[in-house]
Structure 1
Amino acid sequence: MKAALQNYHARMQRVLDYIDQHLDSDLDLETVSRIAAFSKFHFHRQFTATFELSVHRYVQLARMKRASNQLASRGAASVTEIAMDAGYDSPDAFARAFRRRFGQSPSSFRKSPDWAPWLAAFGPLEIARSKLMQTTYTRDDVTIREVLPTPVAILEHRGDRATLGDTIERFIRWRKGAGLSPETSPTFNIFRSERTPENPAEYSMDLCVGTGRPIDAQDDVMKAGVIPGGRCAELRVNGASHNLEPAALYLYREWLPASGEEARDFPIYCQRYLTFPPGEAAHAVVAEMFLPLK
C-alpha cells in the first residue's frame, strides 16, 4: 500500500514539475494526463481530489504567479509581453484579472508591490504544492555550509497561528514604510515552536527582514536582532513555501540522526523568496531551510 501511494505521489509530482517548467506551452488535459500516465478520462478528478484545485485553476495560478514575479523583478519584459506569456489575449484582459486578484494594476505592482494580497492570492497554489512535499527529500538535498551573521529587524508572533495573517500584514506594512524591498533586503522566518503545537497558544515564530540600519528602541512593531552565523545544514525547498514543516521534520528526524552532527542552540529558520533569487526560475526555489550546527 505504501509503495503504491509513493508511486501515485511521484506521478503527480511529475505533473506539477512539468506544468511549472512548461508554462509557455499548451497545457491541455490530454498532455498533462499523459505526463502522469493516467487516463485523461479520470485524471481531472484525480488531480482535483489530490490538490483541491482543478488542472485549469492550477495552471492559471502558476502563470499569474510567474507574471507577478516578472513584474516585481522589474526586468526588461514589458507588461504586454508578460500578459501574453501568462496566456491572456490582451494587456487589458490581463490588467483586469490582475487588479481583481491583487487590488493593483500591473504597472502599480511593478513600481510598489503590495505583498499582503499577493500572499493571500497564492495560498491555494502553495497548499496544493505542499501536499507532496513529504516525499521529496534525500541526503543529497542537504548541504553543510558556513553562513555569515545577519542583522535583522524582528517582529515576534506569539500565540494562535490563526492570527498569523494579521502579523504578516503588520510586517509587510512596516518593511514597506521602511523602504526594505524583498529584492534587496532578505526575508527570514525563525521557527520557535512546532507548526501545530498541542496548545495553539504556544505557537511561536519570528518574522525578520535583513537590515543593518538601527531600529528605534521605541518602535512598537519591530526590534533589532541578529541571526547568528556559523555552520548550518541547508535544505532548499522547491516549489512550495506554504508548509515548511515536512522539510524541518526531514532535517530533524532523518538527516540529523544519520549525519553524526549535533544541532546548535538556535532554532531552525528559513530564508524566503517572495520573488525569486537572481538566475533561478520562478518555480525553482521558494525557501531555504537552515538547521544551525555545532
Structure 2
Amino acid sequence: MTTATDRYLARFRAVLAHIDAHLEDTLDVDALAEVAAFSRYHFHRQFSLLFGMNVGRYVQLLRLKRAAHQLAYRDDARITDIALACGYEGPEAFARAFRRQAGQSPSAFRAAPQWASWATDLQALRALRSQHMPAQPQPHSVEIVEREAVPVAAIAHRGDPARLGQTIRTFIAWRREHRLHPSVSATYNIVYDNPDDVPPEAFRMDICVATPAPVAPNEAGVASTTLAGGRYAVLRHTGSDDTLGQSVAYLYADWLPASGEELRDAPLLFQRVRFYPDVPEHAAVTDVLLPLR
C-alpha cells in the first residue's frame, strides 16, 4: 500500500518525467505546478527543499548537459541549433550561459572538452535523478536468448572513468572515418569492471562497433575482436545512464538468484540501441546482456 509520502513523491516524479519529455519546450513554474497538481504559490519552494536546487536551475543543468554532450560528441550539430534547443534566443546568450557553467565557450568546449569545472554540478544532478527517477526493472522484463558471436572493432579504455569522454571522441572519429554509422552498425560496450568497485586507475571498458571487416593498424588504437556468442539474459534499460547501474544490480542481485541460472566466464555487455544526446535521456535505450552457461 502506498503512503501519503509515496503519493507526494510520485507527483514530483511526474514533474521530473514531464521536464525530461519537454526539455525543448517552455517550462515555466506555473505549468510544472499544474503537472504536480500543487499550488503555484508553493511549488517552487517545495521543489527546492525536496531536490536541493530550484526548478529553474534543474532545467538549466539538464539543457546544458545535453548541449555539452552534443558539442563533445556530435560534430554535425550546429551551435545555433543547440542554442535554440536549449531555449536560448540565439548563440550569444547560449554562449554566455555555457561559459558561466563550463568555463569554456561552446566552440572551445567542442574542440577540447573540460568537464572538471562542473563535475560537482553534474554529480548533484546525477544523485538527484538516481534517487528520484530510479530504474524499475521487473522479472518479466528479462529474456534469455541465444546469440551468435559478433565480430567488432573495439577501442580499449583503461583508467579513470572521468577520461572516458576522450576515448569516446577518438572512437567516434574513427567510426565516422570508416562509415560505420550506428543506424547500420550496432554499438556495444564490454564492461569488465564496476567503476564503484575498483580504483579509478584500474577501471576497464571497451567500446565496440559491429563490423565483419578486418581492422588495419591505426593511430586510434582500434582493433578487431569478437563478442562471444551463447546464452544471455537480456534486460532492456530505458532511461539515463545515471540509473543504468541499478538495472545491472537488479540482474545480479535479484533476477539471477531467483532464476536458477549460472553465469558464464565472459564479461557483461551493453548494447546501445538509442543514444543520448541524439534522444533525450529518458528515451535512451540500452540492452544489458548477462552471459549465462
TM over 0.5: yes
Match of 2:174 among 178, 203, 207: 178
Are the aligned partners of 1:154 and 1:225 in contact in 2 as well (CA < 8 Å)? no
**How many residues align structurally?**
279
Partner secondary structure for residue 196 of structure 1: coil
Tell me how far apart the structure 1 counterparts of residues 24 and 208 of structure 2 sit (CA, whole Å).
33
Match of 2:131 in 1: 131
Q: 1:134 to 1:122 in 2, by over 3 A?
A: closer
CA-based RMSD:
4.2
Deviation of residue 58 (structure 1)? 1.9
Match of 2:215 in 1: 214
Q: 1:202 to 1:24 in 2, by over 3 A?
A: closer
Are the aligned partners of 1:190 and 1:207 in contact in 2 as well (CA < 8 Å)? yes
Q: How does 1:196-275 map to 2 (within 5 A)?
A: 196-197=196-197, 200=199, 204-210=203-209, 212=211, 213-214=214-215, 216=217, 224-272=224-272, 275=276
CA deviation string 1:123-162 (max 9, x = no partner) = 554443222354622234434445452423242536xxxx
Match of 2:161 in 1: 164
CA deviation string 1:167-224 (max 9, x = no partner) = x145235325635589547654433344433x747964313232645264x9796664
Match of 1:152 in 2: 153
Unaligned runs of 5+ in 2: none
What is the one-letter code of the residue matched to 1:178? W
What is the one-letter code of the residue matched to 1:152? A
Match of 1:190 in 2: 190
Match of 1:105 in 2: 107
Q: 1:137 to 1:224 in 2, by over 3 A?
A: same
What is the one-letter code of the residue matched to 1:171? T
Tell me how far apart the structure 2 counterparts of residues 136 and 105 of structure 1 sit (CA, whole Å).
38
Partner secondary structure for residue 235 of structure 1: strand
Are the aligned partners of 2:157 and 2:167 in contact in 1 as well (CA < 8 Å)? no
Deviation of residue 80 (structure 1)? 4.7
Q: 1:244 to 1:275 in 2, by over 3 A?
A: closer
What is the one-letter code of the residue matched to 2:158? H
What is the one-letter code of the residue matched to 2:138? T
Q: 1:193 to 1:66 in 2, by over 3 A?
A: closer
What is the one-letter code of the residue matched to 1:172? I
Tell me how far apart the structure 1 counterparts of residues 52 and 105 of structure 2 sit (CA, whole Å).
25
Tell me how far apart the structure 2 counterparts of residues 281 and 165 of structure 1 sit (CA, whole Å).
22
Are the aligned partners of 2:126 and 2:242 in contact in 1 as well (CA < 8 Å)? yes
Tell me how far apart the structure 2 counterparts of residues 194 and 5 of structure 1 sit (CA, whole Å).
33
In the superposition, the TM-score normalised over structure 1's length comes to 0.70
Match of 2:14 in 1: 14
CA deviation string 1:16-62 (max 9, x = no partner) = 11111122443222332332344545543443455444211221233
Q: 1:236 to 1:177 in 2, by over 3 A?
A: same
Unaligned runs of 5+ in 1: none
| Identical counterparts, % of pairs | 35
Q: 1:285 to 1:95 in 2, by over 3 A?
A: same
User: Could you tell which deviates more after superposition, 250-259 or 203-212?
Assistant: 203-212
CA deviation string 1:252-294 (max 9, x = no partner) = 22223344544332232324565456xx556301533222233
